[in-house]
Amino acid sequence: MIRYEFPLNERIRKFIRVEELFLKIDVLATSAKKYTEFSLFERLFELMLTASRSDLKVDLIQEIERQKLKLRSKAKTQANNALMVKLSKAKTKLEKAKIQPGFYFGDDKYLQEIKSRKDSPYGITSVDFPEFQFWLQCETPLARKDYFKQKIAPFQPIKEAIFVVLALLRSSAKEELVSAERGVFQKKLDPSLKNDLITISMNLRSKYYPNVSSNKYALSIHFEHYLKHTMLDKSIKFKIGTGSL
């Protein structure tokens, strides 16, 4: 199955964007391929720009507290107790986190120089930056990975909080099998509910992908061919779920 996610508000879209950034860094940090460090520096600067925002930290703390309040009204099962512990730990780490806003380099002149090179028209290149060449060729792969690990460490509380919040959101999206007649599907939304996420699952062999538009009251899905970019003119079955925090 191929799975699509469509956030229904800017707050959830922001959470997913930052989550995806952390996932990219995780993949790059375990790669031994040449030029991986170039991409890691670029992702690090994106992380410094987005995950350091104070409004993101406040949003996550408030959301975790809301989830804890909801959990207290539920039965005290082993799973709920474990989730309460996870939420409490994530909130405590967030509250204690000291994340410098924006591009804070401290006394790391090397990182500051990398950032200035990244902002140039040609981006980060080693040919006109001897210190970078030395770092790439003389530092061990482990030392280079430890460098990035140290730079990313202050953002770990943001990562843990976003992962637990989005896991709760995705688990709330219970999917049902539906059919789009002539490639079009419409669904009414309850405006009294806080709808945050639409999930769509389709057969991996399908050549069509969904385009979703929505407002507070309804959503509309149109299926389009991947290569031909033509609208589907027959029925297609898929699964759809609506998630909320």
Q: For the segment 19-68, what is each residue's pLDDT rounded down to a tens digit?
A: 999 999 999 988 877 788 888 999 999 998 899 888 899 999 999 999 99
Task: Please give the pLDDT value at position 65.
Answer: 95
Q: 57-116, pLDDT tens digit by residue?
A: 999 999 999 999 999 888 888 888 999 999 999 999 999 988 887 778 888 888 888 888
Q: How far apart are CA 145 and CA 141, in angstroms?
A: 6
Among the residue ranges 3-7, 66-70, 132-136, 176-180, the one predicted with the least confidence is 132-136
- Can you give the pTM of this predicted structure? 0.87
Task: Please give the pLDDT value at position 117.
Answer: 81
Task: Please give the pLDDT value at position 172.
Answer: 92
Question: CATH 2.60.440.10 residue ranges in the chain?
Answer: 173-243
Q: How far apart are CA 139 and CA 110, in angstroms?
A: 14
Q: Percent of the chain at pLDDT above 90?
A: 51
Tell me the residue type at 153. Answer: A
221-225: long-range pairs with CB below 8 Å, 24+: 221/180, 221/184, 221/185, 221/186, 221/187, 222/183, 222/184, 223/180, 223/183, 223/184, 224/183
Task: Please give the pLDDT value at position 176.
Answer: 93
**Among 15, 107, 9, 87, residue whose Cα is nearest residue 55:** 15
Q: What is the DSSP letter of 139?
A: S
Q: 116-173, pLDDT tens digit by residue?
A: 888 877 777 777 788 888 888 888 888 988 999 999 999 999 999 999 999 999 999 9
Question: CATH 1.10.3900.10 residue ranges in the chain?
Answer: 10-168
> Looking at domain 10-168, which CATH architecture does it have?
Orthogonal Bundle (1.10)
What CATH number does domain 173-243 carry, 3.50.50.60, 2.60.440.10, 2.40.30.170, 2.102.10.10?
2.60.440.10
- The answer to whether residue 232 scores a pLDDT higher than 80 is no
